[in-house]
Amino acid sequence: MKLNENFAALGGSYLFGKIAARVRQFAAENPDADVVSLGIGDVTRPLTPAVVCAMHAAVAEMAYEETFRGYGPERGYDFLRRRIAEYYAGRGVSVSPSEIFVGDGAKSDIGNFLDLFGKSRVLMPDPVYPAYFDVNVMSGNKVAFAGGNRRNGFRPLPPSRGDYDIIYICSPNNPTGAVYTKDELKRWVDYARATGAVIFFDAAYECYVRDASLPRSIFEVEGARQCAVEFCSLSKTAGFTGLRCGYTVVPEELAGGRIAEMWERRQATKFNGVSYVVQRAAEAVFTPQGLAENAKNNDYYLRNARAMHGMLESAGVWHTGGENSPYIWMQCPRGITSWEYFDLLLERANVVGTPGAGFGKNGEGYFRLTAFGNDEKTVRAMERLCEVTRAAMRK
C-alpha cells in the first residue's frame, strides 16, 4: 500500500486536544477551582420545542411500515431544501432549492469539497480555523495567507499581486469575530472573478449578524454567483452541534454548472444523505416557530458576547468581535505569548480560552473567547479575566 505522504506534513496534536489536556491537569491539581471555559465553540442551549417535536414525530414515522423511510436523496429531501431557499429569500437572496445540498455539517462539506479540484494554490486568512489549513495539507495543496492584523481589523483584503485557485473566507469570522462589510466582500468577489478563483465562503455564523447593513451571505454581493460556494450549518443557527446538519449552496453559474454537477456526483458516490430524523428537525428550524425560538437562544449568546465586549472595552483591552458574532478576539497583554496568557488566565483567573497562536502565525499575541457559555458564569469569569489582564498590562 502507498500511504498519502501529505499526512506527514500535518502539524502535531490538534489545538483543542492540547488545551483539554492542560485543563484536565490543572483541574486535577486544583479540585476546588471554579474553572470556567470560554474556550470551545460549542453551544450549550438545548434544542427548541419546535425541533424536539419534529424529531419525535419523525422517529414515530420510522416505527411503522406505512411511514418508514429508507435511503433518502443524497442531496437532501425537497421539504428541507425548499425551506432553506425560503430562509435565503427572507433576506432577499435568491437561491434555488436545486442549488442547495444538505450535508452533515459545514466541516464535512468544506473538507470534502476539495475532492472536486486538482492540486491548487490556496489563499486563506491568518488567523484561520485550523481545519481549513489541515484539509489542504492532506490534499498536497500550496497554501498562502492573507494576513489579518490590528491595522486591518482582522479583515484582510485581496492581495495586490499573485493569483490563487481557491480562496477561503469566513464571515463572521472564526476565530476573530470580525465581520466583512458588503463593500469589502465585493472586493474579494471582484478579485476572484478577475483571477478565475473560486471562493469557499463559510457562513456558519451568519445567524449572529444583527446589523442589517452587514452581509450574512456572500450571495448578497453582486457577481458572487459566478465565483463562490457557500457553506452553512445549523450547528450555531439552531444548536445542532450534536445533531449534525448543514447545507452547501453551489450556484448554477459556477464554472458553467460543472461544480454543481461534480458535487452532486461526489455526494451520490461517497455519501448517502443526512438522517431523515435530523432533516425533519432541520425543517422545523426554518418554520416561523423554529426561527423565533432559535433567535431567542442566539440572543442569549449575543447578550453574553456584548457583555464581554463591554467589559473588555472598560478594561481598555483591544479586541474585535463580540458584536454580530459569538467570538471575541482580544489582544494579550504586551510582552507575553498567547500560550503564556493561556496559562496565566487558567492559573490566576481559572478561565479557559484559546491561544491565538493555535490559529496561525498572525494569531500570536491574541486570544479567542467564546460567548456560548452560561450567562452568569461568563460574567463571573470575565470579571476575573479583566482583573488579571489589567494587572498584567500594568507590568
Q: Could you tell me the smallest distance in angstroms from the CB atom of residue 74 to its own copies? A: 9
Q: Could you tell me the smallest distance in angstroms from the CB atom of residue 6 to its own copies? A: 8
**Among positions 25, 33, 49, 306, the unique one binding its own copies when judged by CB under 8 A:** 49
DSSP state of 205: T
- Nearer Cβ to its own copies, position 40 or 336? 40
* Segment contacting its own copies by CB under 8 A, of 108-116, 218-226, 351-359, 382-390: 108-116
Q: CB neighbours (10 Å) of residue 178?
A: 24
* Segment contacting its own copies by CB under 8 A, of 78-86, 206-214, 269-277, 380-388: 269-277
Q: Which residues contact 12 (CB under 8 A, 6 or more apart)?
A: none
Interaction between residue 68 and its own copies (CB under 8 A): yes
- Nearer Cβ to its own copies, position 136 or 331? 136
Which position has the grid cell 490538534?
14
Query: In this structure, what C-alpha cell is assigned to residue 163?
Result: 493569483
From 112, 11, 1, 58, select the one nearest 280 (Cα to Cα). Answer: 58
Interaction between residue 269 and its own copies (CB under 8 A): yes
Note whether 291 and 285 are within 8 A (CB).
Answer: yes
Q: Which residues contact 100 (CB under 8 A, 6 or more apart)?
A: 75, 76, 81, 84, 85, 247, 248, 249
- Nearer Cβ to its own copies, position 32 or 66? 66
- Nearer Cβ to its own copies, position 143 or 312? 143
Interaction between residue 7 and its own copies (CB under 8 A): yes
Which position has the grid cell 464535512?
108
Q: How far is it, in rounded angstroms, from Cα 94 to Cα 167?
A: 23
Query: In this structure, what C-alpha cell is assigned to residue 321?
Result: 468581535
Interaction between residue 376 and its own copies (CB under 8 A): no
Q: Could you tell me the smallest distance in angstroms from the CB atom of residue 105 to its own copies? A: 5
Size of the site for its own copies (CB under 8 A): 73
**Among positions 24, 30, 34, 46, the unique one binding its own copies when judged by CB under 8 A:** 46
Task: Give me the torsion for CA of 352, 353, 357, 359, rounded to 10°.
Answer: 130
Interaction between residue 52 and its own copies (CB under 8 A): yes
Q: How far is it, in rounded angstroms, from Cα 383 to Cα 311?
A: 8
Q: Which residues, numbered 190-209, are part of the site for its own copies (CB under 8 A)?
A: 196-198
* Segment contacting its own copies by CB under 8 A, of 154-162, 257-265, 282-290, 307-315: 257-265
From 110, 119, 94, 76, select the one nearest 271 (Cα to Cα). Answer: 76
Q: Could you tell me the smallest distance in angstroms from the CB atom of residue 314 to its own copies? A: 30
Q: Which residues, numbered 203-242, are part of the site for its own copies (CB under 8 A)?
A: 239, 241-242
Q: Which residues, numbered 147-166, are part of the site for its own copies (CB under 8 A)?
A: 165-166
Query: In this structure, what C-alpha cell is assigned to residue 278?
Result: 435530523
Phi first, then psi: give them for residue 353, nearest 5 degrees.
-130, -165
Q: How far is it, in rounded angstroms, from Cα 247 to Cα 243?
A: 14
Interaction between residue 302 and its own copies (CB under 8 A): no
First to last CA, the chain: 57
From 287, 225, 251, 263, select the one nearest 82 (Cα to Cα). Answer: 287
Q: Could you tell me the smallest distance in angstroms from the CB atom of residue 375 to its own copies? A: 12
Interaction between residue 256 and its own copies (CB under 8 A): no
Q: Which residues, numbered 163-182, are part of the site for its own copies (CB under 8 A)?
A: 165-166
Q: Are strands 166-170 and 121-126 parallel, antiparallel or unpaired?
A: parallel
**Among positions 23, 35, 116, 379, the unique one binding its own copies when judged by CB under 8 A:** 116
**Among positions 265, 296, 303, 361, the unique one binding its own copies when judged by CB under 8 A:** 265
Interaction between residue 296 and its own copies (CB under 8 A): no
Q: Could you tell me the smallest distance in angstroms from the CB atom of residue 254 to its own copies? A: 9
- Nearer Cβ to its own copies, position 23 or 135? 135
Q: Could you tell me the smallest distance in angstroms from the CB atom of residue 68 to its own copies? A: 4
DSSP state of 148: -
Q: Could you tell me the smallest distance in angstroms from the CB atom of residue 339 to its own copies? A: 21
Q: How far is it, in rounded angstroms, from Cα 219 to Cα 45?
A: 30
